[in-house]
Structure 1
Amino acid sequence: MARALYIHWPFCLAKCPYCDFNSHMRESVELDAWQAALLADLRHEAEVAGGEPLHSIFFGGGTPSLMPPVLVETLLAEVKKLWGFAPGIEITLEANPSSVEAANFAALASAGVNRVSLGLQSLDDSALMFLGRLHDATEGLKALDTAQAVFDRVSFDLIYALPDQTEAHWRDQLSRALGFGTGHLSLYQLTIEPGTRFATDVRRGGFIPLDDDRAADLFALTRELTEAAGLPPYEISNHARLGEESRHNLTYWRYEDYAGIGPGAHGRRGGLATLRHKKPENWLDAVNRNGHGLKEERVLVHGEQASEALLMGLRLAEGVDLEALGNRLTVDPGTLIDHAKLSHYAKLGLAWQDGTRIGVTPDGMPLLDALLAEIVADELVSA
C-alpha cells in the first residue's frame, strides 16, 4: 500500500540545457482533458495501492507551477477522497521563480500545497543565462520572498560546480543562500546527462566541465558551510534543519512504497515497478483507452528490490539497516553486501558499519557511485 503519491506535470516553457527529466513544450494544453485523465489515473492507483492515508504528495515535472491552482485543488480533493490524508501531510509542488508563477503562490497554498521547492538554480545572472533559465537573480529572490510569506515550508535548488567556478564564487553564493532562512536546500553539482543540450555542447567543445578534483573541493565546502549553518546533509545533495527533511524524497531513499501518476511517472508498490507512458499524447491516449496511463507493471524479484534499496539508501547519511532490509524482503542480510570490501573502505574512512547498519562517510560521498559498485554484492548489482 502506497503512503506517498507523485503527480507529474510534463510541461515547461523552455527546456533547460542540463535537464534530462520528462519535460515538453506545447503551444497549448487542453486543461479539461488533462484534468479528466489525471483523475482517472489517480483512481486506478487508488484501487490497487490504496488503503492507508497518504503522508506525502509531490507535484513534479516539468513545471507544476504552470498548473492552474484550480486544477491542483481538484486533484487534491480527489486524492483526499480516495486515500485520505495522514495528520501533518506534506504536499510539495515544484515551482519556477518567474513572476507569473509566483503570482499563483497564494492560490496554490489555498488549494492545499504546504511546501514549495523553488528552482532558483543560481543567484548569479551570468550563471542563470548559462543554465538556460528564464528568470534573473532579482526575479528569483522576489519569488523566494513570496514563497516564504505564503507556504509553511520552502526549499530551493542551487546548481554548482559550473565550468571554471571558483571556491570564492561558490562560497559567496552559498553563504548568501544560507542567509535567507529556508529550512531545506537542494545543492546539486552540474552533471552532463546524455541526451541533453549540454552533452552536445561538451561533445562539440562548447565548454569544458569542471574537473573532478575542483568539484570535490566545492562539495567539501558545501558540507562545511551547511553544517555550520545548521543545515547538515541528510542525503548526498540535500541539506535540512532537523525536522525539515523532504518526507517525500525520504520515501524514495528509504525504499518505501509510492504511487506515481502522469506522463513518465515511476512507482514502487507491492513489489511491482510501475511506469507510465512518457510522451504526453501517448499517456493521454492510454488513459482514454485503458482508464490509466500505465506502460509497464513489472514484478521485482527480491534481489532486485534489495539492490534498489541499497543503491537508494546508501545516499542517506543514516545509511541502511541490513537486518531490517533483509527481513523486509526475506533475503539473507549477509548476502546483501561484499563484507570484505566494506571493511576495506571502512578502514580508508570512506564507509562505516555500526551493528547491522552501514553507510558511506562524508569523505566517501563524492565517490558514491564507485563505492556502491564495490560494496553492494555483485549478484545484486547484476540482478
Structure 2
Amino acid sequence: MTAVRPQPPTPAVTVVGIGADGWDGLSDASRAALRDAEVLIGARRQLDLLPAPCAGERVTWPTPLRPAVPALLAAHAGRRIAVLASGDPMFYGIGRALAEETGGAGGLRVLPHPSSVSWATARLGWPLEDVEVVTLVGRPTARLAAALHEGRRLLVLSADAGTPAAVAELLRDRGFGPSRMRVLEQLGGPKEHMGAETTADEWPERADGDPLNLVAVECHRAPHALRLGAVPGLPDEAYEHDGQLTKRHIRAATLGALAPAPGETLWDVGGGSGSIAIEWMRTHPSCHAYTVERDPVRAARIARNADRLGVPGLVVVTGRAPAALFELPLPDAVFVGGGLTAPGLLDACWQALPTGGRLVANTVTLESEALLADAHRRHGGELVRLAVAHAVPVGGFIGWRQAMPVTQWAVRKTLDTPAGVDT
C-alpha cells in the first residue's frame, strides 16, 4: 500500500499579483485564493478590480504602508488573508514586507503575475537581462543618477504621473539630456498605451499622463558632460569641495583596500566632501554608508554631493567622533580620513569592527603617521605610502609636481587580532 504523503498546511497569508487587466488576467489559482479569502487587503484601485464573488472583508492599505503591515496581520490573525499586489509581488512589491513578517515560504503563499517590467521589455523588444531597473516608488529621484552610463537601457518604475517629467529634469541636469525616453502606461490592460519617443531635452513639463506608468530610457550623454565611470576614482571635478577631498588616485586605492561588497556598511569618519562614502555606495545599490563630519557646512556639502552622484541614501551625521559613532549601526568596514589624533577615535573604530571587518586610515601628518605605525606594529595589516605626481608646465617645458604623500594603514580584523588599539 502506497503511503500518502501529508500535505503542508496552507499559509494563512496569500499574496496575489494582479495587473492592469484585472480579474480577467488572473490564473485559476489566484481567483480561487481571492474568492476563498476572509480578508482582502490592497490598494483601493486593486480592490475595485475584484468582482462580487470575492466576498471577504475589504481593507485598504493605510499610508505609510510598511509600518502598518505587522498591525494589520495581527488584527486579522486566524483568518484567511489575501493581499493584492501590483504584478510580481516579490519584485519591488509588498511581498518582501510580508515575507519578513510571516517568516518567508512557510508562512506566505505567493501567486505572481507578470510584472510591469516584463510587459515593458516585451513591448520594447529589450532583453530583460540587458536592462537595469530603478524604482522611484517612495524613493528620491536622485537615486537614478547612479545608473546613468552611455548606451545603457533603464526602466524606471514611476511613483505617479509626475515621475516622467522628474526623470527628464534629472537627465538634463546630470548631462544626459540627449537620452531617449518613452512612457508606457497601464501595461497589460485594456487601456495600455505607449507614448511617442523623444529626448529628455525635448520632454514637456507636464504631468497629465496615467499614474500607472513606467519610463523607458536609453542613456546618451551630452558631449560637454563629465564622464563618470562605474568604478571608484571619479574625477575630482565631480565633487563640490573646499579642498577637503580625498583625491582621485588616492581615493581609488583607498576603496580598493576597503573592498566593498554588496549589502555591506561603511563608517566614513571625517567625511570632508563625502567622496569615500559616496563611491562605496556607488559600487552596489545595496551598500550602506554613514559619514561623520563635525563641520555643518561640510556636512551639508556631503549631502549635496551624494544627491548629485546618485546615492541620496547616504546618512550624514554632523558631530565629533568618536562620540558620534556610538549610535550608528555596526560597520563592516571603517575609513578614517580625518581626526586620527582625537583621543580614543582609532580604538572606538577598531572595537566596533566584527571579525573579518576592515579598517583603512589615511594621513598626511607626522603625528597621525606615528599612530598608524604603532597600530601596524601591534595588529599587522599593511602600511604603505602613496605618492602621486602630476605633469605641469615649468616655463616652456613640462615637469612633475609632487602631491603630499599619504600614509595608509589597512588591516583586516581576525580572531587572533588583539581587541584594542592603544592610542
Structure 2-normalised TM-score? 0.25
Greater helix percent: which structure? 1
Higher Rg: 2
Q: Which has the higher contact order (CA 8 A, sep 6+)?
A: 1
